[in-house]
């Protein structure tokens, strides 16, 4: 993978010919492959080799998916190349798969572009098995408040939040673009948890690693990765996806450097952060049969950083966009915050129990933000059933979380931003079952606790100090999301005014 050279146009033409020739040969061989097994979920007829690739527009397949769901129902199938995938929509079907038959559906695909890029390491993409189980259990325990030693999670969040407050306070009345601020903030909070330190915003770690993620997210999401997944014979060719392998190596070497630093300065039994906790555990398990190792730790830490950065910051971006577009909602939050926090220096996560309206707004923001629309792909771990269909072991499953977050019948106002979706007639907070932005079941987001704490403390602290106003000269707010690994709003500016406290 190391030695790729640039290609001239002539070579490209040749390459395309080779690929086309390859396709033709395979066409014959795979004639009989793209067939659905008995009682498999229905879907459009698939071509050999190509599957349903031609049914989808590579640029925005969303409209096509919507049409297929209307035609074939809540459990339908598609062929991406020769490989069948099942798309599951609506609360009933998703709950049956991810919760009621949770273990049957808790696998992850192991033959995709991203698996090859990450060398099969880490927790997000780990298949259902002992390594995933051990690491997940360890992470859940460690991320619990006070799991990380003296410095509580809340203090770490407030510490980082202070930088944003100071930056905003220096710019009263000015329009600032909050994208980078929320991104840096979410990234640094995870860094505080994982590595016990924040990074100056121009630090090499952040710059290089974030750049690598960005590029890899883009490549993973783009047409080249789809071709890589669909047509194994092109995998070793020096096509644009090769860059992703180099990027992974780069971020891994940064991770390994941090692990080495920690090993030099740590004291067994006195963990300063997540890395120390893991290294402690590694010593304790020295003689056992364990899946823990330093290499795993490095990928594990980078996974958590990756999983916790864009998700949280894009949710915050959506939140402040809607709070500016709905100023009466913002004001009502501020009233509740002022009242509950009167006389207190800062908000605690426990204060949420006295803030039903703010809770409703944050949940509604998550519902509307729809940050991870198709969850992370699952696979079946054994032959199983879903809504009466038979699905063999090893089939890729795509849970359509969007279809639950805006499902008719589950919400009072499925298609508008309205905190009433989370309030009962007495104005008390309540969470409908269909609220699943973190997915559900054994694979559910393992950072949910941390993410909810971040969203609450950040939104409450900023709303207490500042009023956020949509700039007069910015036209109308645009709510159309930008598609990527995670959904985000289009970049926007906000005007910040200090509130009298």
Ligand X SMILES: *[C@@H]1O[C@H](CO)[C@@H](O)[C@H](O)[C@H]1NC(C)=O
Should residue 439 be labelled a site residue for ligand HEM when binding is judged by CB under 6 A? yes
d(CA 390, CA 39): 5
Span from 22-30, 105-113, 179-187, 352-360 in contact with ligand X (CB under 6 A): 179-187
Q: How far apart are the first and last CA of the chain?
A: 58
Closest to 86 measured CA to CA, from 74, 70, 75, 101: 75
d(CA 278, CA 284): 10
Tell me how far, at minimum, the Cβ of 407 lies from ligand X, in Å: 7
| Cα dihedral 414, 407, 100, 428 in deg (nearest 10) | 10
Binding mask 288-307 for ligand HEM (x = CB under 6 A): ---------------xx--x
Select the residue interacting with ligand HEM from 52, 74, 251, 315 (CB under 6 A): 315
Q: From the DSSP assignment, how many helices (H) and strands (E) are in the chain?
A: 16, 11
Should residue 196 be labelled a site residue for ligand HEM when binding is judged by CB under 6 A? no
d(CA 258, CA 381): 35
Structure-token pair, residue 101:
């038959």
Q: Which of ligand HEM, ligand X, none binds 62 (CB below 5-8 Å, type-dependent)?
A: ligand X
Count of positions on this chain that bind ligand X (CB under 6 A) = 19
| Cα dihedral 491, 369, 438, 187 in deg (nearest 10) | 20
Contacts of 260 (CB under 8 A, 6+ apart): none
Taking the least distance from each CB to ligand HEM, the nearer of 53 and 86 is: 86
Count of positions on this chain that bind ligand HEM (CB under 6 A) = 24
Does 445 count as an annotated binding residue?
yes
Max Cα-Cα span within the chain: 76
Tell me how far, at minimum, the Cβ of 89 lies from ligand X, in Å: 5
Cβ neighbours around 420 below 10 Å, total:
14
Q: How many residues does the chain have?
A: 501
Contacts of ligand X in 389-408 (CB under 6 A): 400, 402-403, 406
Binding mask 358-397 for ligand HEM (x = CB under 6 A): -------------xx--xx---------------------
Binding mask 336-355 for ligand X (x = CB under 6 A): --------------------
By the 8 A CB rule, do 78 and 391 touch?
no
The β-bridge partners of 484 are none
Should residue 52 be labelled a site residue for ligand X when binding is judged by CB under 6 A? no
Binding mask 109-148 for ligand HEM (x = CB under 6 A): --------------xx-----------x------------
Question: How much is the CA Rg of the chain, to the nearest whole Å?
Answer: 24
Tell me how far, at minimum, the Cβ of 327 lies from ligand HEM, in Å: 24
Taking the least distance from each CB to ligand X, the nearer of 80 and 277 is: 80
By the 8 A CB rule, do 86 and 41 touch?
yes
Contacts of ligand HEM in 448-467 (CB under 6 A): 450-451
Annotated binding site for heme: 445
Residues that bind ligand X (CB under 6 A): 62, 65-66, 69, 87, 89, 180-181, 184, 201-202, 206-207, 210, 374, 400, 402-403, 406
């Amino acid at each position: 993978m190391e030695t790729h050279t640039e290609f001239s146009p002539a070579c490209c033409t040749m390459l395309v010919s080779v690929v086309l020739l390859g396709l033709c040969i395979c066409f014959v061989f795979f004639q009989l492959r793209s067939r659905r097994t008995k009682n498999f979920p229905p879907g459009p007829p698939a071509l050999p080799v190509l599957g349903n690739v031609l049914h989808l527009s590579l640029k925005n397949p969303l409209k096509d998916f919507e049409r297929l769901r209307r035609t074939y129902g809540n459990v339908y199938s598609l062929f991406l190349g020769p490989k069948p995938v099942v798309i599951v929509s609506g609360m009933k079907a998703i709950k049956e798969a991810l919760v009621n038959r949770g273990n049957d559906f808790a696998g992850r695909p192991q033959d995709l572009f991203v698996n090859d890029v990450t060398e099969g390491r880490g927790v997000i993409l780990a298949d259902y098995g002992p390594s995933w189980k051990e690491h997940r259990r360890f992470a859940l325990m460690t991320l619990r408040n006070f799991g990380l030693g003296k410095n509580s999670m809340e203090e770490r969040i407030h510490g980082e939040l202070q930088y944003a407050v100071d930056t905003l306070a220096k710019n009263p009345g000015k329009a600032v673009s909050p994208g980078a601020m929320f991104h840096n903030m979410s990234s640094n909070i995870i860094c505080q948890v994982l590595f016990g330190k924040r990074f100056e915003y121009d630090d090499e770690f952040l710059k290089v690693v974030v750049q690598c993620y960005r590029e890899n997210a883009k490549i993973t999401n783009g047409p080249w990765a789809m071709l890589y997944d669909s047509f194994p014979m092109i995998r070793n060719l020096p096509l644009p996806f090769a860059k992703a392998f180099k990027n992974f190596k780069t971020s891994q070497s940064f991770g390994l450097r941090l692990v080495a630093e920690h090993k030099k300065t740590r004291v067994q039994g006195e963990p300063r952060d997540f890395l120390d906790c893991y290294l402690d555990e590694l010593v304790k398990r020295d003689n056992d049969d364990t899946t823990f190792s330093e290499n795993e730790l490095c990928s594990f830490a980078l996974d958590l950083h990756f999983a916790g950065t864009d998700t949280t910051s894009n949710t915050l971006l959506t939140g402040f966009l809607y709070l500016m577009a709905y100023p009466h909602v913002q004001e009502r939050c501020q009233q509740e915050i002022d009242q509950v926090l009167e006389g207190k220096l800062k908000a605690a996560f426990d204060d949420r129990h006295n803030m039903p309206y703010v809770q409703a707004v944050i949940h509604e923001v998550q519902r509307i933000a729809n940050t991870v629309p198709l969850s992370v792909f699952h696979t079946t771990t054994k032959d199983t059933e879903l809504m009466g269909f038979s699905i063999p072991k090893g089939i890729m499953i795509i849970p359509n979380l969007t279809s639950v977050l805006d499902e008719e019948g589950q919400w009072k106002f499925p298609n508008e931003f309205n905190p009433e979706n989370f309030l009962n007639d007495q104005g008390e907070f309540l969470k409908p079952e269909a609220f699943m932005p973190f997915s559900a079941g054994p694979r559910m987001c393992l950072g949910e606790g941390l993410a909810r704490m971040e969203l609450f403390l950040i939104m409450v602290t900023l709303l207490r100090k500042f009023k956020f106003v949509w700039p007069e000269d910015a036209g109308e707010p645009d709510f159309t999301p930008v598609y990527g690994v995670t959904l985000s709003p289009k970049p926007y500016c906000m005007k910040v005014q200090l509130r009298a406290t």
